[in-house]
């Protein structure tokens, strides 16, 4: 009797903890694979611990726990908790397609490394096709060309942090500015995805690009932003250090000029490189994805001209937004 009470009490606790941390254990709709090997072990330890104090404090508190009303209340509470969790899961699945999101986060280190290499240097990559497995695209872990959401998310967050760093080196930092940067970057991202969706709708191309795919593609450019800003910040801070020494060695003018030129030059060069790289990357990715949406070989010619249209409209639009943003960033950050 005490042990079942302990079990149901523990399960209720466990349920509350699970619901709070939004991590499913035994329902089948897992948000991510539970690779912690200590899971069952911890449960066993908990159970023992729960049963232990119960047995020890069972005698004075026996009236509390063997009371059928409190048993009933605990059982009811645990069923209510599991019902609530089911409702949350169902509604969450309706608004955010959780199972589809899981596909985009199934990455590993090798994939991330290769993808970052392709993003920075897309010129040597020959085969851009996404391999399919029974009509669904293969998970990013197995195919370098598949889109993922891990790199864009991480790139976005790193971009905000590096922007904070850039502001800090210019003594213009305050914690609210991080939030401002984050929301404005998010708004630009949403507007770019909406612009791409609108242009895809207008050109009536049958493609299997989902909104999340477009989000992933639009998020890949944050990697370039991060590289540009890191390069300019590291170089500018290194150069300012060198400037100090040069001032001490009374080659002041040359040192300062070299520092300024080098800083700005590094910024422009890396900006140009990353713009070209992401342009080529987007071009080839979109070409492939639009073409791969059709399996009908008769209409391939018409598809070719339509994809040219799409390419022009879509890529120009995305490039326009990216260039606008680069200009804005230039005015905002570059006061070397």
Partner 1 sequence: MAFTLYTLIQTAILCTNAIAVLHEERFLSKIGWGVDQGVGGFGDDPGVKAQILNLIRSVRTVMRVPLIIVNSACIILLLLFG
Helix 221-248 to helix 316-333 angle (10° resolution) is 30
Shortest distance, position 294 Cβ to partner 1, whole Å:
12
Shortest distance, position 281 Cβ to partner 1, whole Å:
25
| CA-based torsion, 72, 74, 77, 81: positive or negative | negative
3-state secondary structure of 110: helix
**In 3D, which of 106, 109, 210 has the Cα closest to residue 148?**
106
**Scanning the structure block, which residue is given the tokens 């329902």?**
27
Of residues 309 and 319, the one with the C-beta less far from partner 1 = 309
Residues binding partner 1 (CB under 8 A): 180, 183-184, 186-188, 190-191, 201-204, 302, 328, 332
Shortest distance, position 163 Cβ to partner 1, whole Å:
12
The C-alpha atoms of residue 318 and residue 122 are separated, in whole angstroms, by: 18
Shortest distance, position 235 Cβ to partner 1, whole Å:
25
Of residues 26 and 204, the one with the C-beta less far from partner 1 = 204
The C-alpha atoms of residue 293 and residue 150 are separated, in whole angstroms, by: 24
Of residues 27 and 208, the one with the C-beta less far from partner 1 = 208
- Residue pair 225/195 in contact (Cβ under 8 Å)? The answer is no
Of residues 87 and 194, the one with the C-beta less far from partner 1 = 194
**Termini Cα distance of the chain:** 74
Shortest distance, position 204 Cβ to partner 1, whole Å:
6
Spacing of C-alpha 333 from chain mean position:
24
Of residues 286 and 294, the one with the C-beta less far from partner 1 = 294
Of residues 92 and 177, the one with the C-beta less far from partner 1 = 177
**In 3D, which of 275, 228, 277 has the Cα closest to residue 117?**
277
Shortest distance, position 71 Cβ to partner 1, whole Å:
48
The C-alpha atoms of residue 268 and residue 276 are separated, in whole angstroms, by: 12
């Amino acid at each position: 009797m005490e042990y079942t009470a302990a079990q149901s009490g523990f399960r209720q606790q466990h349920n509350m903890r699970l619901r709070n941390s939004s991590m499913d254990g035994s329902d089948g709709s897992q948000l991510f694979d539970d690779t912690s090997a200590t899971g069952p072990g911890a449960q066993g330890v908990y159970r023992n611990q729960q049963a232990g104090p119960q047995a020890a404090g069972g005698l004075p508190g026996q009236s509390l726990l063997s009371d059928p009303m409190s048993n009933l209340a605990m059982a009811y509470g645990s069923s209510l908790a599991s019902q609530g969790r089911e409702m949350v899961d169902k509604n969450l699945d309706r608004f955010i397609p959780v199972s589809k999101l899981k596909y985009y986060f199934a990455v590993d280190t090798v994939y991330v490394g290769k993808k970052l290499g392709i993003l920075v240097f897309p010129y040597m990559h020959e085969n851009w096709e996404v391999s399919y497995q029974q009509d669904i695209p293969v998970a990013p872990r197995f195919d370098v060309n598949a889109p993922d959401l891990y790199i864009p998310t991480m790139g976005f967050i790193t971009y905000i942090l590096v922007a904070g760093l850039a502001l800090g080196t210019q003594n213009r930092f305050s914690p609210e500015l991080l939030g401002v940067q984050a929301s404005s970057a998010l708004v630009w991202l949403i507007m770019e995805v909406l612009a791409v969706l609108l242009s895809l709708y207008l050109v009536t191309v049958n493609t299997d690009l989902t909104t999340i795919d477009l989000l992933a593609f639009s998020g890949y450019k944050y990697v370039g932003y991060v590289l540009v800003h890191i390069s300019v910040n590291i170089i500018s801070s290194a150069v300012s250090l060198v400037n100090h020494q040069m001032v001490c060695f009374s080659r002041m003018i040359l040192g300062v000029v070299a520092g300024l030129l080098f800083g700005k030059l590094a910024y422009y060069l890396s900006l140009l490189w990353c713009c070209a790289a992401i342009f080529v990357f987007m071009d080839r990715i979109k070409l492939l994805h639009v073409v791969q949406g059709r399996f009908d070989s008769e209409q391939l010619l018409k598809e070719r001209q339509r994809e040219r249209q799409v390419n022009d409209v879509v890529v120009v639009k995305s490039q326009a937004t990216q260039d606008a943003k680069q200009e804005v960033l230039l005015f905002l950050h570059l006061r070397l």
